[in-house]
Amino acid sequence: MFEFIPGRIGQAVLLVFVLLAVFVGSRIALRRRIKARPIHGIDRLEEWIKEAGKLDRCVFFTPGTGGVGSTDTLAALALLRYVARLCVRHNVKLIVANADLNVQQVTEEIVKSAYAKARKLGKYSVDSVRYISGSVFAYAAGVMGLLRRERPALNFFVGLFSAESLAIAEAGRSEALYQFAGTSSIDQLPFFLATCDVTLLAGELYAAQSYLTKDQQDISWTVGQDAGKVIALLLILIGTILVSLGNDIILNFLKF
Amino acid sequence: MAAKRKMSRWEIILQAAIFTVGFFYAVTYYVKVSEPIDLQMVADNSLAYLTAMILTAFAIGIINLTRIHWRNIKLRRADWKFSLVLIGSLYGMAIFSIIASPFALDPRGFIIPSWLIDVISPVWNFLYYNVLVSINTSIFSLLAFFIASAAYRAFKIRTMESTILLIAGLLVIIGEAPISDLIWPGFSAIQNWIMLVPNTAGQRGILIGAALSIVAFSVRRMIRYS
């Protein structure tokens, strides 16, 4: 027996349209070799890591408190791969603090493989990737202590965050030269914007990986997302006009 | 442009698995299939197994904590005493929780002697409610001071954006204060407008962008290995 779940048919149709727009947009971007707009500050990462190396200070990275299922965490892991590679290249100690046990395993593997690829596995230390706690405030306290003891020159707060974001970003601010943040948690964005030098806002975080790898296929896919955003904007505009005129057709379609 | 890497056989298998699972869950969200197999039930059960698998990873966290902090103690590294407190608290609390807590293994005292449960129970209650909860509350209350210092830093920067932020922030603070209506009733109306119009518009803009990016990111993960 096969049937559509009532109330989700409109959503399914909309999803297909948006995905189609993203796909067509990305094919056009790939054919025309359209470049992604520069993301402020992301180009300076290597320079900052080099500076940390010159000062003989470490780099700190947290992928947030989300699990591996969260897209923010996946984007953070992609960025960690890039940061770990740079840290290994410039002989800078990297410390990763985790709040999720599955993320802990993945980050351990990412950092270890960065050392292995550079044939420097002997330099990998067990305490590079640490599990702090699954409880938000215990994690905040652990990271605050870690930042005070290790005095990293560059801090990365990338991923999904909740109440601990401001505590750790403020604790890091007092010692770090630079702070880099990225999240889609709207409630935490103002805190990062106030305490960090560079903050990636939601979509920028997901685009960071393709921007850093310079992979044209990834970039075109990112550019293609804008086609989906155009559809969303058009729907909002048309919906606002129609509802103002007393017509609920779009509302009813989305509830269908 | 980065050179395109050929996927290994293992990566192809992994990618196929990612696509199948992702597609399966997307389909079960929109379509109900009850015969010959109840797909919704399969999806729910798989999620339950996933939760069980995630819980088994708990041991890895304990092993990691023990390895790092035991090394700190053994090598007498700086602040090794904190590591000692951590190891003691971790295992101490785990043992107390197994003996006497709402999650105790043998609450009726079949194997663990009842007198031991009676002795440990008030200790566990003290450690949980008087120590752990209080520490959590203390860390949470620190946020008030962090907000003040972060706001001070944001307002100190002399740019057009920070000036707008400062004015908007002050108007919202005054509007929220109980005394604002006595000073000028317009403060509440301004505060409401700032929170409901520019604030909501900005938040929704970010939300729509993030939601679309999540959809595109998830589909990209499903169809392309990275």
For residue B134, tell me if it sits in a domain. yes
Q: In angstroms, what separates the C-alpha of B114 from chain A's closest C-alpha?
A: 31
Do B107 and B37 fall into the same domain? Answer: no
Domain assignment of residue B2, yes or no:
no
Average pLDDT over residues B186-214: 88
In the listed set B117, B142, B167, which residue is the last one of a domain according to the structure?
Answer: B142
Q: Do B43 and B98 have their domain in common?
A: no
Where in the sequence is the domain holding B82, given as residue range(s)? 61-142
CB A202 to CB B216 under 8 A? no
Of A114-118, A204-208, B118-122, B129-133, which gets the smallest average pLDDT?
A204-208
Choosing among B4, B6, B25, B30, which should be mutated to test the A contact, i.e. which has the most A CBs within 10 A? B30
Which band of pLDDT confidence, cut at 50, 70 and 90, is reported for residue A110? very high
pLDDT of A218 strictly over 80 = no
Domains for chain A: give ranges and CATH numbers. Answer: 42-212 (3.40.50)
Last residue of a domain, one of B88, B112, B142: B142
DSSP per-residue string spanning B103-169: T-S-TT-SSS-HHHHHHHHHHHHIIIIIIIHHHHHHHHHHHHHHHHHHHHHHHHS-SHHHHHHHHHH
**Residue at B125 is within a domain:** yes
The answer, for B67 touching chain A at a CB cutoff of 8 Å, is yes
Best of A82, A95, A130 to disrupt the B interface (most B CBs within 10 Å) is A130
The verdict on A189 touching B (C-beta cutoff 8 Å) is yes
Least confident of A70-74, A153-157, B94-98, B154-158: B154-158
Mean pLDDT for all residues in chain B: 85
State whether B85 and B135 are in the same domain: yes
Confidence grade of residue B126 (pLDDT, cut at 50, 70, 90) = very high
pLDDT-above-90 percentage for chain A? 41
The reply to whether B217 touches chain A by the CB within 8 Å rule is: yes
pLDDT of B1 reads: 45
Look at residue A251 in the predicted model and tell me its pLDDT. 84
Provide the 3-class DSSP secondary structure of residue B225. coil
* Full 3-state SS string of chain A: CEEECCCCHHHHHHHHHHHHHHHHHHHHHHHCCCCCCCCCCHHHHHHHHHHHHHCCCCEEEEEECCCCCCHHHHHHHHHHHHHHHHHHHCCCCEEEEECCHHHHHHHHHHHHHHHHHCCCHHHCCHHHEEECCCCHHHHHHHHHHHHHHHCCCEEEEEEECCCHHHHHHHHHHCCCCEEEEEECCCCCHHHHHHHCCEEEECHHHHHHHHHHHCCHHHHHHHHHHHHHHHHHHHHHHHHHHHHHCCCCHHHHHHHC
Nearest by CB: A1 against B34, B203, B214: B34
Rounded CA separation B42/B34 (Å): 10
Q: For an interface test with B, which of A128, A137, A168 has the most B Cβ atoms less than 10 Å from its Cβ?
A: A137
Residue B122's pLDDT is what?
A: 93
pLDDT for the residue numbered B207: 85
| CA–CA min distance A50, chain B (Å) | 23
What is the domain count for chain B? 3
Position A154 confidence tier, pLDDT thresholds 50, 70, 90: very high
pLDDT score at B127: 93
A65 has a chain B CB within 8 A of its CB: no
B46 and B66 both lie in a single domain = no
For residue range A28-69, what is the model confidence (pLDDT) as tens digits? 888 888 877 777 778 888 999 999 999 999 999 999 999 888
Domain membership of residue B152 (yes or no) is no
What is the per-residue pLDDT for B5?
63
| Nearest chain B Cα distance for residue A3, angstroms | 5
For residue A227, the model assigns a pLDDT of: 80
Tell whether B52 and B69 lie within a shared domain: no
- pLDDT value at A88 more than 70: yes
- Tell whether B102 and B167 lie within a shared domain: no
Give the rounded percent of residues in chain B with a pLDDT score beyond 70.
96
**SS3 state of residue B31:** strand
* B51 & B124 share domain: no
Q: What's the complex ipTM?
A: 0.75
Q: Write the pLDDT tens digit of every residue in A157-191.
A: 999 999 889 999 999 988 888 999 999 888 898 88
Same-domain check for residues B52 and B71: no
CB within 8 Å: B32 and A216: no
Contact B65 A131 (CB under 8 A): yes
